[in-house]
Each structure stands twice: as structure tokens, then as C-alpha cells.
Structure 1
């Protein structure tokens, strides 16, 4: 049995039942009002809002690049240590807990929520950008050279490998452990109980949860907006459909409608089903590229990228004396801030589905397995794109015009272009649906004070709000409004870096407490 903490706080004790919802006061109201204020202000003054938030983002990245880099490195080392330390034997939910989902479904859900859509968007665009010096090259590698191609793949893998998954793992394991082993609410504030005890339930805890809601909602709405642009660009590329605001907003409405149905059905009947569909379709697309693409080159790229990733892990993780400033700030620090801003959403969702796993099993699955899958995916799509560029094949050989078209331009040079590109568009949309409904479940839990099963109207409310925010900003302010939203989400990553570092300390203290009290070890 789990050894719970001695606290007088009960899940839902500050909640108010209104409008068929179970509302945590003041987190729900403050979060909702801030979202409305941001959306209205951004639509009214999109250019000014983008300037303000771009300034805040630039200030955070340029002045605290060292903090983002140090923090991300700490998270990787911390997670790897948890695999080998004695606390790795601790089981989430107690010694008698059993997993709620099969290993395959569990992995499909955490991968789809974590970065499935990002891999669709950037697996071609990112290595192409580095190789052609679209916005800086990693470690100042010479563009359009064999060395530049190798570094392009190494840097892409660096941004999608151990570091982002370690960020997610810290949050996910903290929330799962304190909720299922210590009897605390499934919400961000619970991770601070070992450090500040019942102070977690006061203003400090409310502040952390509000920031988590905003980071999650802004991050999801940004991705939904950019994803709609990618899907619309693909439909225009394939079928000549207008690539305008009307098409993009229509896609958002469609995605949100299906996401609402999914959140009503819950984890088992909605998110799990869609995630399994996601991974099956992604597997088919990957297999197709492996078979009809430059197969030998792909596997050679996988091998050289794996070795190059390990070889350049420390140089790319370094923050002292970097000379590749455009790449370092424009890509790496930006990515770390972005992953951290997404960590409340992805972390809490992974926590919800991970009861019954040991710490060692959890870290291995969340950190190492996705990294290996990502390596194969990047080698297939990025390696194929670079092969085409180096052999002057297709549109990408002329440079990267629009990142949302890069995947389709690469597929255009393979057989069955129309069918496979349509599959890619469909996969983008389904990935967005799973991100939207899993994000809605997360925000729903936070704004209900950590309850796992808040009322259905509350789930619908947040799923609709995500779509409304993305659609309204896209319709009312276009690219400037979406850019402002993205900049706001990244700015949130700065204070949350400190939150995650504190989480590492609190989590280790909690795991040691559990190991000694439950496993009887000294």
C-alpha cells in the first residue's frame, strides 16, 4: 500500500459546483479571465501584442539562455540516475498497483501527446533548414556540405531526443508519484509538498496551477493554429483548395468538434483509441518511406546520426563561449523554453496514464524508447529530404520556402504521392485531435483542483476554449496573433524552469521516503 502524506487538504475542498461543473476557486476563474483578456487584447492589437511578447521572449532567451541549458542538462542527468538508483524500484501507486493500459497503448498515448505532431511538422523542415543555413547552422558547420548534412541530422536529433523527454519525465513522474503514492491531488502544486508542506494549498500553489493552465492552453492553441496552416497548405498543394483563413479556421472547427467527442468519451474510449490509430498510421507512413525511399541511405543515416548525436551531445549542450549564436538562441534555447512550457500538459497527461509502472520502467519508456523511435523517424524523413537536396531532386533542392510544405515537398518525389500525402494530412489532423483532447483533460483536472473525473461539461468547456482561442486569433490577427501566442507560451518557460528544478529535489525526497517506508529499505 502507498504511504500517504499527513495533510489536512482534501481533493476538491475549495471547489464550487456551478453550471454543471466542478470549479476550483480561484484557479478556474483567474485562468479563464486571463485567457479572455489575452485573446481580446491580441485580436484588437495583433502587431503590438506580437511586439510585446516577442520582446519578452527575446529577453528571456538572450538573458537566461544559461538557465534553460543548465536546467535541461540537469533533467537528463537526473532521469538517467533514477534508472540506476535504488529508488528505481518504487512502483507508482504502491506495490500492489497494476497498469491500467497495455504497454503498447500506454506508449502510443504518451508519444502522441508528447511530440507526434512536432515530428510531422519538423522531421523534414528542420534538417533542411540547418543544411541550407535557413537560420543558422549547428556549431557553425558549413552549409551544403557532407559535414553540414551530418551535423544537421545530429542537431535535429539533439532537439528531439533525451532532453525534451527528460523535461516531460520529471513533471510526469512527480505528478504521478505524489498523486498515486502520497494521496495528493493530481495537479502541479502537489509536487512541492515535500518542500513547503501545506503551503502548497495556498496562494503559491494557486499561482503555479494558473501558470500551468495558461502554458498548456497557449501551447495547444498555438500548435492547433500552426497545424491548421500546415494541413491547409497540404490540401492546397494536393488539391488546389484555397489556403486562406477560411480553410484554416474550418480545419480548427473540425478538429475541435472531434476532440470534444473524444473528451466526452474519456481516456479509454477516446484518447486511447485515437492514439492507437495515430501510431498505426504513423507506422504505415514510416514503413512506406523506409521501403520506397533511399532505404540504404536511411539506415546508414540512422547509424551515423545515432553515433553523431552521442558524440555532439556535450558540445551542443554547452552554453559557454558558443559562436553559433543564431542557431544556439534561435533553435536550441527556443526549443528548451518550448518543451518546458509544454511540460505541464504533457507531464500531467503521462502521469494520468502511468499508474502501476515502476520508476525504472517509467523512465526507460518515457526517456529512452521515444528517443530510439525518434532516431528512426528522423533518419527516414530527414535523411530522405537531405538525399533529395544533395541530388538536386524536387522543390527542397531550391531551398526551404515554407516549413509547413516541407513534408509534402519531400513526399512529392516518392511514388503514390497523392495517397501518401493525404495520409500525412490526415495524420497531422488526428495528432492534433489527440493533443487537443488530452490537453483538455489536463486543464480540466487542474481547474477542478486535481480531480481525475471532473464533470463532462467542464471537459467540453476547455476543449471548445482551445479551438476558440486558436480560431479567433487566426481569424482576427493572423500570423501576428499566433506569433504573439507562441511568444507568450515560451516566456512562461522561464519561471517554469525553476519550478522543474525544484520538482527534481522534491521528487527525490518523496521517492526516498517511499523507499524507506514502503519497501523497508535503509
Structure 2
């Protein structure tokens, strides 16, 4: 199969993915609406079964994701860029970090920032701990649940997508990450099944997020206007309104919709954080932030592998498994976003950027909201706050505002933030789901994005009818089990591809002839770069094109399937050698004209590129013999790698 056909197969992959995924989701929705009590019972029994039989697998898998990313970052692989060798990062470093910082955050921090530390304090998993250490233990658990492991999940999916898409020019789809394992079969039923599983996990994960957000909005409205009850019909009405707003955002497009709302999100979140930090015990917050961070790092390994194997409790399923599974279900969504903004970064930059920056902000957020809440309960005896959290997690944030006497305005601000998070999650989620169901095509039709935005709202409503928070929690865990297996295979495929990359580098280095490709006269001439396009055109016409034609003619005489193409404007020349073996990609040696401007002065290059991207070679000034030797040198290295490599990947040039 030719490489162009591989890409074409992705572009027409909508029906094999879209129809099964939508069919399964609609079946779930219809069953939930027709027999809500039966589905609620099904969710309850399924949660117990999954926790008992697959809890260990999810915990172990997340640990492996983190270990795998750290191995990549600290190994020589860390220097590999996400793109061709000479790729320049698409975004400046600090802007890129800021975008990562906002990628995986939404309702989670607002919903659990107060509720989780308080619940771990009131109902600790370790009952033998000293009463004076309950608050510290509660914060350590919250740190563990929202620390490196969460972002290792996002990071693995994002890194795999970015690596295979930008480095090896595969479509930006989950199935691309499995090319090292199944090859061209990513275009068949196996590849379709991978994308279907990703869509199911993403949809249920997003529906869980939307369901949690509307329950918290309902709690905020109730705190301001007690006449508005905490009830499922109210929450479904909120979903209907916000889904309509999300669809308007979808229709507005990426820049006018998601981009503007994301700026609003970050601004409101920072205002909320600073306000609570100032109103709370500021000095204590800072002290506990530093101490808890140190304790988290020192106890990371022990907590990672703690499965409560010697105790009988549903605590693990209610907390650790739910949060990890929820994150796994979110991983295709967040990972795809991170992949889109990370072109040009090295693997090491990617791993450290994804792990360090968001985790640091997470710890600060939990210190401000969690430690403030624990201080009020422990030191000032705030029984009202504890009772509200125990009654309903969604009441926690607004109960804290009431204890701090911040006024109605802060509750309104928080509800606005939750609403914008809902809209941006539904909008960007619809974009990602439309892309996944279209084989990785990011330029999807508007009707597809609107359809997915509406379906997300409908499924969130259905899950609320089938059991509220418990059904949402179970749906995330159930959807995460198969995708956990997918991610484990993704990690294996990534390591296999990186090993092939290392092998390629070694072989190319060992097989490169030991000669100076340019004569000293040519090297001296090449130092004087052309300052006009006419000079470069003359080099193409009189030197480059004639010698490439000679190489092509000589190779054709020896039976190679080779041809040279030149675009009509004569700005790009490409030599391509095809092979009868469909699994082997063609050898490509291209030269492109490039203008560089510095301080109002322009110079022109004749830059070389191969399958792997630009090679930092400017041919201008080379004589014909040196150019021919360079072409043959790279072709020899290509053949040597193909003969010795066991992986037979499509980018081995």
C-alpha cells in the first residue's frame, strides 16, 4: 500500500468508527431512559465487580505510565523532537506551559478542592492514625490523587499522539499510536475498534464532568436562592441550557469560541484562588503547601502501590479508582489537545512540562481550598462546613464561601467559572469526538461537532436519571477498563518505536561513508550565500537539476523504481525510490528553496530533506559530484537500515 493511500484511508474512516460508537452510546442512553432503576442497579453491581477484579490493574497501569514517561525523559530518547529533526517549536515556551496548565483543568478542582480533603479528614482510610495527623493525611491523599499520576495518564496519550503524528506524519488519531504493533491493520477492524473504545471512554468521561458541574451549579443556586431545590430535574434543565450555549460556541469556531472562553476560565480561576488565599489563613496555607509537597514526594512509591489488600473497604473504589479511571476516560480528550500544541518540543521538554507545571498548580489549589477548609473545621470548630460536605460534595465549595463570609458575589463568580468550564469542555470535547470519529481529521463538519455536543448533554442527563453521582462515577470506571488496556499497549508501541528510532540513528551513523562530501573549493564557495533569488534559480537550473537527472537515469538502468518531480515554480525538487514491498516506505531525497531574512537582509538556501524531515544541509555552492555522492550516501544508509531493522516501520529513512 502506498503512503498516500494510507492517509486516504484515514480520511474515509468515518463510517466504520462513527456508526458503531454512536450506536453503542445511543443504546446506553435509551436503556438508561427506559429503565433507569434497572440501569442504576447495573451500575452499582458493575462498580463492585470492577473494583474487586480490575482495581489492581488500573493502579498498576497508572504507575507504569508514570515510570514509562520518566524513563523516556531521562534517557537519550529525551532529545528527540516532536517533528522532523530541525523542527522549531510552534509556541514560545512560557505560552506553551500556560496552555498545558489550562488543558486538563475544569470542574475537577472546583468540585473536589474542598470536598476531598474534608471527606478524607472526616472518614479517613487509616483509622489507626493519630488525631493530630488526620489533616495531614487528608491532604496527602488529595495530593496523591491529583499529582503526577493524573498527568502521567494525560502525558502518555498526548506524547504518543504527538510523536507518531509530527515525527512520523501519521494522522492525529489514536490508532496511529499502534502502527509499530499492527502495521497497516490500523486501517482495518482493529484500528476502528481502538478509536471506538477511545470515543466511548471520552464520551462517558466528559459526561461525568458535565454531570458533576451541573450538580455544583445547582448547589450554588440553592445557596443563593434556597427556593431552588437540589434536584435532578433542575440539573437536567441546567444541562439543557448550557448545552445550547456550548453548541453556539461550537458554531462560533475554535478561535472565537474555545479560545476566548479559555482566557475567561483562567482569569476567573486565578481571581477565585487569590480571594480564598487572602481570606483564609494565608501563612498556614503556605507552610502546609511546602510541607505537604515534601511529604508527597517522599511517600510517592508507597502510595502508588497501596491497594488496601489487607483491609475490606470500598474506599479505594470510591476515591482512587474513580479519580484514576475518570482521568483515563478523559485522556484522549486532554491528550489530543496537548499533542496539538506541542509540535517541535523535545520528548524531555514535553514530559517535564506536562508533569511539573500542572502538578505544582494543583498542589497550590488544594492547599488554598483544602487546608483552609481543614483549618476551619479543626481549629475553629466549623461543624456546618463538615455537615454540608458530608451531605453533598457539590455543596462543599459554597459552604466554604459562607464560612469565610465572602458574600454572594464570590458564589456567583464560582458559578460563572463552572458554567464556562462546562461550555469549553462540551465544545472542545465535541471537536475531539468529531475528529476521532472521522479518522483523525481535525477539519470536521459543523454538523458533526454539533451532534457530539448535543449527545454529550443527553448522556450526562441520562446518567443523572440513572443514579446521579454514583452512576456518573461508575460509568467513568467502566469505560476506563478497556481503555486502560489500550493505553498499556500504547506504551509498548511507543517504546518499540523509540527503539527503532535509536537503531536508525546508530545505523545511519555507522554506515555513513567517511569522506568529506564537498571539496575545499566547493566549501569555500558555499560560504558566500546567494542574496538574490536569481542566483539560487541559476544553481537549480545549471547544477542541481542536471546532476539529479543523471543519478535518476543511472539508477533506472540498474532497475530501481525511481523518479524525480519538480513543482511548476521550480521551488522544490524531490527524488523518490519506490519498492514492491508495500510495507516499506519510499526513499525520499528532496531539495527546497528557502528564503531567510535577518536585519532586513535576505539569503537563500537549497535545503535538503528526507522522510524524517529537514537535514540541516544547504546544497548551494556544492559541485555536481558532491551532490551525487550525498544522494547515494543517504540511499546506502537507508538500505542498510531496512535490511537490519526488525520493525519495518513506515518512517525508516
The TM-score with structure 2 as length reference comes to: 0.73
Answering whether residue 502 of structure 2 is matched by residue 506 of structure 1, we say no
Shift of 1:518: 7.2
Higher relative contact order (CA 8 A, sep 6+): 1
* Structure 1 residues 258 and 508: CA distance shift in structure 2, 3 A: same
Paired residues for 1:62-461 under 5 Å = 62-103=52-93, 106-133=96-123, 137-140=124-127, 142=129, 145-243=131-229, 244-319=231-306, 321-323=309-311, 325-390=313-378, 391-393=380-382, 395-398=384-387, 400-461=390-451
**Is the contact between residue 101 and residue 357 of structure 2 (CA under 8 Å) also seen in structure 1?**
no
Could you tell me whether the CA contact under 8 Å between 1:82 and 1:360 is conserved in 2?
yes
1:345–1:442 CA contact under 8 A, matched in 2: yes
Counterpart of 2:537?
none
* Alignment match, 2:530: none
Q: 1:13 aligns with which of 9, 31, 37?
A: 9
Uncovered stretches (5+) of structure 1, i.e. residues with no partner:
17-22
Give TM-score, length-normalised by structure 1: 0.90
CA distance in 1, matches of 2:44, 2:301: 29
Work out the CA distance in 2 between the residues paired with 1:311 and 1:249.
Answer: 44
Q: SS at 1:184's partner residue?
A: coil
Residue 521 of structure 1, CA deviation: 6.7
* Structure with the larger helix share: 1
Compared CA separation, residues 340 and 9, structure 1 to 2 (3 A):
farther
Q: Name the structure 1 match of 2:475.
A: 488
Distance 1:115 1:325, change over 3 A: farther
* 1:197, distance to aligned residue in structure 2 (A): 0.7
Distance 1:141 1:153, change over 3 A: farther
Shift of 1:343: 1.4
CA distance 1:242–1:497, shift in 2 (3 Å)? same
Cα 1:149/1:402, change in 2 over 3 Å: same
CA distance in 1, matches of 2:383, 2:391: 13
Q: Is contact 2:262–2:424 with CA below 8 Å preserved after alignment?
A: yes
Shift of 1:517: 4.8
Report the alpha carbon displacement of residue 27 of structure 1 after superposing the two structures with TM. Answer: 0.7
Q: What is aligned with 1:20? A: none
- Distance in 1 between residues matched to 2:503 and 2:258, nearest whole Å: 36
* Aligned Cα root-mean-square deviation (Å): 2.4
Shift of 1:32: 1.2
Q: Which residue of 2 aligns with 1:42?
A: 32
Distance 1:518 1:291, change over 3 A: farther
2: CA distance, partners of 1:256 / 1:106: 29
Contact kept in structure 1, 2:250 and 2:427, CA below 8 Å: yes
How many angstroms apart in 1 are the aligned matches of 2:273 and 2:93?
A: 21
Cα distance between partner residues in 2 of 1:337 and 1:6: 39
Q: Structure 2: which 5+ residue stretches go unaligned? A: 511-653
Are the equivalent residues in 1 in contact too, given 2:204–2:329 (CA < 8 A)?
Answer: no
| Partner Cα separation in structure 2 for residue 461 and residue 501 of structure 1 | 31
Q: Which has the larger radius of gyration?
A: 2
* TM-aligned CA distance change 1:307 to 1:139, over 3 Å: farther
Bigger fraction of residues in strand: 2
